[in-house]
Chain A
Amino acid sequence: MTIAVTIAWAFDALLAATVLAVALWTIVTRETFAAVVGFVAFGLLVALVWVRLAAPDVAMVEAAIGGGVTGVLLLGAAARLRGVEAATAAEWPGKTLRLVTGALCAAVAAALAATMLLLPDPAPTLAPEAAANLASTGVGNPITGVLMAFRGLDTLLEKVVLVLALIGVWSLAQDSQWGGLPGPQRQAQPDQALVFLARLLPPVGIVIGVYLLWTGADEPGGAFQGGALLAAMWLLAMMAGLAAPPPVGSRRLRLVLVAGPAVFVAIGLAGFALADAFLAYPQAYAKPLIIVIEIALMLSIAATLALLVAGPPERMPPR
């Protein structure tokens, strides 16, 4: 028993040290592109930490969004900003300022660490309440229960935030390009190996994404995880030139983008009539309703995430 504990502790210590080392390197390295590569590695390691914290649901989201999609977003930005004039030495703060900043940041970290150590010992938890009320939602995964039922309003508003962010990104387009295709022109002759991968991977990815949505009702997984995977697969096809991004003016695209929040709101409003409040589900239909919302959400999440990475419209569709 003690051996197992020691090994587990050594594993966790190694993991924590590696995460911090990669984070430090990401901050101090000179080259931006290399720092982003470090950031993707960081995201992957943080997903491992989430597994060690017994939160596989979060680990999936972190792996998909934290490392994967955010990484690709920042990589694209780093690549496109490469031709742009970088900061000069004069813009770096001086040594004194850096030392003072370092000391202040260390103080913030120390305060957080102290708070961490002084937390009350029988930790307060809502797990028993969640477990007690989970049966009324019909789903078996407590995280899905929290996201879709207990704190459904948070999830709904978060979807609205996603759509607002996309509107924000699109509104950065030049007037002449409004309604056009997002992202820069891709070269016409992508690598054959890349095309092969982009043909092979998306079907598998779609199956796994749908599987994660389906299993998310009772096991770790759900609309976020599935949607992020679908977004990654769509982006992969776009990178290989197999799928053109849709013009942002497309009505069908906009329908997909708002489908998730719209279905959520509609079922939420129906809650006034069928149950007793906004976003309340009638008990007998709770699980099917949650799954319907999740399917719509997954499609909207996938489309929104991919288009957020693709960026504002920059060229008109070829006519």
Chain B
Amino acid sequence: MAEFLLAAAGFVLAMVALGLVRILRGPAIADRIMAAQLLGTGGIATLLLIAPATGMAATTDVALSLALLAAFASVAFVQGTSGPDDPEATEGR
């Protein structure tokens, strides 16, 4: 069973790593954010699968904090895309 779980983790990692090609190709910033979002979910799934496979229970806690931070980072991406008009609004004074 441990072999199956680790193999599944590897498969999911391979898939989201392939999805990273979208970060590379873009073309729009939204596509890049999507690839990062998929990587976040896939990374969480990978961690959850590794936890019982290796017997390190704390791995689930890593997944837990990652779940919170992935959302946080995605929000920051979206905020960042609306950035160009932001500095002018403040620096114009």
The answer to whether any beta carbons of A and B sit under 8 Å apart in the complex is yes
Q: How far is the CA of A194 from the CA of B70 in the complex (A)?
A: 14
Q: Which of B59, B73, B81, B89 contacts A40 (CB 8 A)?
A: B73
The majority secondary structure among interface residues of chain A is helix
Given A64-B65, A205-B68, A233-B72, 13 additional A-B pairs, CB 8 A: A34-B29, A48-B47, A54-B56, A63-B69, A72-B73, A75-B77, A79-B86, A80-B83, A82-B83, A185-B89, A232-B69, A235-B72, A315-B90
CB within 8 Å of A: which of B15-42? 17, 20, 23-24, 26, 29, 32-33, 35-36, 39-40
| In the complex, residue of chain A having the shortest beta-carbon distance to the beta carbon of B60 | A56
- A3: Cβ under 8 A from any B Cβ: yes
Q: How far is the CA of A25 from the CA of B40 in the complex (A)?
A: 18
- A83: Cβ under 8 A from any B Cβ: yes
CB within 8 Å of A: which of B33-57? 33, 35-36, 39-40, 43, 46-47, 50, 56-57
| In the complex, residue of chain B having the shortest beta-carbon distance to the beta carbon of A3 | B3
- Are B6 and A76 in contact (CB-based, < 8 A)? no
Q: How far is the CA of A201 from the CA of B68 in the complex (A)?
A: 8
Residues of chain B at interface, number, CB under 8 A: 54
Q: Which of A72, A205, A215 contacts B61 (CB 8 A)?
A: A215
Least CB distance, B71 to chain A, in whole angstroms = 6
- Are B26 and A14 in contact (CB-based, < 8 A)? no
Q: How far is the CA of A236 from the CA of B76 in the complex (A)?
A: 8
Q: A44-B43, A82-B83, A184-B90 are in contact. Are A56 and B62 (CB under 8 A)?
A: yes
Provide 16 A-B residue pairs closer than 8 Å at the C-beta atoms, listed in order of the A residue. Answer: A18-B17, A34-B29, A48-B46, A51-B59, A54-B56, A56-B62, A67-B69, A72-B76, A76-B83, A79-B84, A82-B84, A187-B82, A208-B65, A229-B65, A229-B68, A239-B79
Q: For chains A and B in complex, what number of residue pairs have CB atoms within 8 angstroms?
A: 176
Chain B contacts for A51, CB-based, 8 A: 47, 50, 56, 59, 62
Chain A contacts for B36, CB-based, 8 A: 37, 40-41
The majority secondary structure among interface residues of chain B is helix
Which of A104-112, A218-226, A252-260 participates in binding chain B?
A: A218-226
Residue with the highest number of chain A CB atoms closer than 10 Å, among B43, B46, B69, B82: B69
Chain A contacts for B9, CB-based, 8 A: 11
Q: Which of B20, B23, B24, B59 contacts A56 (CB 8 A)?
A: B59
- Are B61 and A56 in contact (CB-based, < 8 A)? yes
Chain B contacts for A15, CB-based, 8 A: 13
Q: How far is the CA of A22 from the CA of B70 in the complex (A)?
A: 17
Chain A contacts for B29, CB-based, 8 A: 33-34, 37
Q: How far is the CA of A37 from the CA of B29 in the complex (A)?
A: 9
Q: A11-B10, A15-B13, A45-B43 are in contact. Are A236 and B75 (CB under 8 A)?
A: yes
Least CB distance, A314 to chain B, in whole angstroms = 7
Q: A34-B23, A51-B50, A239-B76 are in contact. Are A233 and B10 (CB under 8 A)?
A: no
